[in-house]
A = this chain, B = another copy of it.
């Protein structure tokens, strides 16, 4: 069993999420990856903590973490560029691997950090820096390794996407939608970094650097936010068949790349047009795989902490060449289909006669199947017509008995179509 001795920098929202996740899921992670995570020390400068942590773990002295002789891995969740950069560089120089969620730090100082990591032969993982719990960094680094990346089109700022979705769906103006986002906790009191595109620019700088194997400069990324978008722009775009989304784009173009964050009109049928609310999505076009999309919650304590901890597991596995692979063990009990609970769609072929619907409903009722919706069309007495019923949740076994009975009724012709509904 590989053991990671972890020093944690920061016990704010994400930091306390990481701490609590490691406590809750240490056994699952060890089972699935063969890595045990052990928190040795936590540096935090705030006095009030939302979670209870044993006192002996805590320190206010960052050096007690980044230079601690028994710590081999530093998890940086302070955020910000300065003085965090100094701490991360010290950690690397002291022989620690680093896991971070800090997109600003990597976008603005990645060059320096990566060079230091190479010099000291250290590893840096940063899955949580883009797309919260969505494993897009690993996908780009490993899953798409055979590709020359041609473009990335992404929705990577949940706050802006939430605001634009509310403006689109509920016809709100920008200011009202921003206030709603703030009330729901999707936007901060000072929302500038989100709505003016800076956060998305940090993230696309990281994605561009990984996609093209060279460091993109954050300052080279063109940035436009959404605060100038008026509701009428959304309405006019809609008339032309478009939605407006804040896209972060990087694409190959001649001998260079284009990299920009901008409110963009995209066709309504485009896969990114349906990414709504606070969700994120990253669409990557590779020359081998074609388009690959990663989608999920791009922020929040639990998804972000999950990405940090998955990096720790990956790091632990990478430390040992002999770490055995984990395979499924034992047998999974799959329930018989007759026991499942589902909503159903029935299409009966019935002879249209007065009282026919009542007869069928009666049989369904006897089997405790309750109807939610009905369509009966092209009614012509005495002719075979389709009768469509949707049910509330019911057991498959009851459905089978009921349909078996109904299929034998004289008013019913042919086999009933039975389909399941998932919401």
User: Chain A residues in contact with chain B, CB under 8 A?
Assistant: 21, 25, 28-29, 31-33, 110, 114-115, 117-118, 121-124, 127, 132-135, 138-139, 141-148, 153, 208-210, 212-217, 220-222, 228, 230, 232-233, 236-237, 239-240, 242, 244, 247, 249, 253-260, 262-267, 269, 271, 274, 281, 286, 288-297, 300, 302-303, 305-307, 309-310, 313-314, 317-325, 327-335, 337, 340, 345, 347, 373, 375, 386, 388, 390, 417, 419-423
Q: Which residue of chain B has its CB nearest to the CB of A97?
A: B325
The 5 closest A-B CB pairs, nearest first, are A135-B143, A133-B289, A220-B334, A293-B295, A292-B296
B222 engages A146 (CB within 8 Å): no
**Stoichiometry, copies per complex:** 2
Cβ of A239: which chain B residues have Cβ within 8 Å of it?
A: 375
Contacts A139-B138, A289-B303, A334-B258 given; indicate if A29 touches B388 (C-beta within 8 A): no
A-B contact pairs, 25 of them (CB 8 A): A33-B142, A110-B328, A114-B327, A135-B139, A138-B142, A145-B313, A153-B422, A210-B328, A230-B347, A232-B386, A236-B386, A240-B388, A249-B422, A253-B335, A264-B419, A265-B420, A265-B421, A286-B306, A290-B296, A290-B300, A291-B296, A292-B297, A317-B318, A319-B321, A321-B321
User: 4 other contacts beyond A215-B330, A232-B347, A274-B274, with CB at 8 A cut-off?
Assistant: A28-B148, A264-B420, A265-B420, A289-B306
How distant is the Cα of A253 from the Cα of B247 in the complex, in angstroms?
38
Inter-chain CA distance A390–B263, complex, in Å, is 15
User: Across the interface, do A293 and B294 meet the contact criterion of CB distance under 8 Å?
Assistant: yes
In the complex formed, the residue of B with least CB distance to A153 is: B422
A406 smallest CB distance to B (angstroms): 17
B290 engages A422 (CB within 8 Å): no
**Main SS at interface, chain A:** mixed
Q: A209-B328, A420-B264 are in contact. Are A333 and B257 (CB under 8 A)?
A: yes
- Given A123-B325, A138-B138, A375-B239, answer yes or no on A309-B228 (Cβ-Cβ < 8 Å): no
CB <8 Å contact, A135 and B292: yes
